[in-house]
Structure 1
Amino acid sequence: MILVTEQESVLDKTRSTLLCRLKDLDDSDAWREFFDLYWLFIFRIAIRKGLTEAEAEDVTQEAMIRVAKVMPGFQYSRKRGSFKNWLSQIVRNIIIDHYRKKKPSTVRLPDGENDVGMDDALIARHDLEQIWDEEWRRNLMNLALKSARKRVSLRELQIFHLHVFQEHSAKKTAEMVGVSVPRVYLAKLRAGRVFKQEYSKLKEAVS
């Protein structure tokens, strides 16, 4: 079952507008919106790079602190590169710092990586970019589902999530939710259309 909240959608504001609001460190609504957009995303990246949950929480907190320190004088310009790339460099540096603090015997390498050149093997830029893109797509899909809640019913979103994301058959989904099979296909069509619209709008807003 998916969890849907009534929080304000990030689709209501463009990326540049949100960044301008973040210049005001007292704008709690803007910072809450920014935190909701990025915290789980950053946390999952740290986990996938081999850090513990406690360390991943530290990475997330430190990333938020570093962003807050520079935002009052931050000038956003797409010509200079995306905000996502700038933030990814901050996260990468924090993860590297965590590994450098570890004793060699305590370093836990992610699957498929060896111990040759810590900075290159663990925090390789191309590797982090791949993880970053994968987790960002996951993050956008979750946010799009939350935004879609304003336009379709919770049950329709549950059906859509079970049938499309969890790949249950229409019959199994119908049994789990307690509806007919035709209702599953109808919900898939309706919720799917809204989800695609919200995902496209969100992707454009934060690109």
Structure 2
Amino acid sequence: MSQNPTSQTLIMKLQLQGNDKAWERFSREYRPYIYTILKKYEISHEDREDILQEIQVRIWRALPNFIYKSERCRFRTWLSRVCRNTSLNFLDSKNQRNKKLHVEVEDFDRAETPETDLLEEEEWQYFIAKKAWENIQNLFSEKQGEVYLKVSQGKHQKEVAEEMGMEMNTAYVYAKKVKDIYIREIRRLNAELDG
């Protein structure tokens, strides 16, 4: 598997620890994904910002010794593990404090399960799809985007064409054009952000 130069370059810049622009880019690119993972662990909104900062500090501390081997695991796999471990440590600590205060707590299983891996994969795909759509939506007309969205929600091109007062071939071409651009952007983002 070939390594993506952009991801490697960003990781190398982050490892220098003095590159503020690299940290800004890292935060801009990965913060929404990290935040979503924290939500999935049902961490309160008030605690999410603190934990997000803790995750970034852990990443910052670990990166000087981090050796990226794409054949071993993806960058997002490592990032997900940092998020998971930090979240679970927080929940452990919170449960321990609550038990000491005699507050009823719900126990949770720290064991890594396929469900948590699936959750992280689903969140990654959602994160990439959303980011890709944000990146490309201004590349085509509002009408082209509307046709694509209706078709992607399961409507047939013929139905969409009638609904929007256009030829079926036009609806087909619009939907295909947007879909092709969208898929390319999803692939690009996966290669760039996932290494």
Distance 2:162 2:52 in 1: 39
Residue aligning to 1:118: 109
* Contact 2:145-2:178 within 8 A present in 1 as well: no
In 2, the alpha carbon distance for the partners of 1:198 and 1:48 equals: 26
Is the 1:99–1:107 contact (alpha carbons within 8 Å) kept by the matching residues of 2?
no
Query: Which residue pairs with 1:72 in the alignment?
Result: 64
Q: Provide structure 2 residue ranges, at least 5 long, that are not aligned to the other structure.
A: none
Residues 1:33 and 2:25 aligned together: yes
Change beyond 3 A, Cα 1:161–1:85 = same
| Counterpart secondary structure, 1:159 | helix
Q: Unpaired runs of 5+ in structure 1?
A: 1-11, 109-114
Could you say if the C-alpha distance between residues 33 and 161 of structure 1 is closer, same or farther in structure 2, counting changes exceeding 3 Å?
farther
Partner of 1:112: none
**How far apart are 1:202 and its partner, in Å?**
2.3
Partner of 1:192: 179
Q: Distance in 1 between matches of 2:47 and 2:148?
A: 31
Provide the TM-score with structure 2 as the length reference: 0.74
TM-score normalised by the chain length of structure 1: 0.71
CA displacement at 1:169 relative to structure 2 = 7.8
Residue 119 of structure 1 aligns to a residue whose secondary structure is: coil
**In the alignment, residue 146 of structure 2 is paired with which amino acid?**
I
**Structure holding more helix per residue:** 2
Aligned to 1:50: 42
Residue of structure 1 aligned with 2:80, choices 88, 94, 97: 88
Identity of aligned residues (%): 21
Alignment match of 1:159 (pick from 139, 146, 149) = 146
Give the distance between the partners of 1:167 and 1:41, measured in 2 at CA.
Answer: 27
1:145 aligned onto 2:133: yes
Q: How far apart are the structure 2 equivalents of 1:173 and 1:41?
A: 36
Shift of 1:40: 1.3
The answer as to whether partners of 1:144 and 1:195 remain within 8 angstroms in 2 is: yes
Q: After superposition, what is the alpha-carbon deviation per residue over 1:155-174, rounded to whole angstroms, capped at 9, x for unaligned?
A: 25742664256667877899
Instruction: Go from structure 1 to structure 2 and tell me whether the alpha carbon gap of 1:51 and 1:172 turns closer, same or farther (over 3 Å shift).
Output: farther
**1:6-17 alignment to 2 at 5 Å?**
14-17=6-9
Distance (Å, rounded) in 1 between the aligned partners of 2:91 and 2:131: 31
Over residues 91-121 of structure 1, what are the superposed CA-to-partner deviations in whole Å (9 max), with x where a residue is unaligned? 111111211122254646xxxxxx4x5323x
Deviation (angstroms), 1:140: 1.1
Q: Distance in 2 between matches of 1:23 and 1:41?
A: 21
Distance 1:50 1:189, change over 3 A: same
Are 1:129 and 2:133 counterparts?
A: no
Q: Which protein shows a greater Rg?
A: 2
Name the Cα RMSD after superposition.
3.1
Q: Secondary structure at the residue paired with 1:50?
A: coil
Q: Is the 8 A contact 1:63 1:90 kept in 2?
A: yes
Deviation, 1:66, is: 0.9
Conservation of the 8 A alpha-carbon contact between 2:14 and 2:63: yes
1:119-139 CA distance string (max 9 Å, x none) = 23xxx3422211110000011
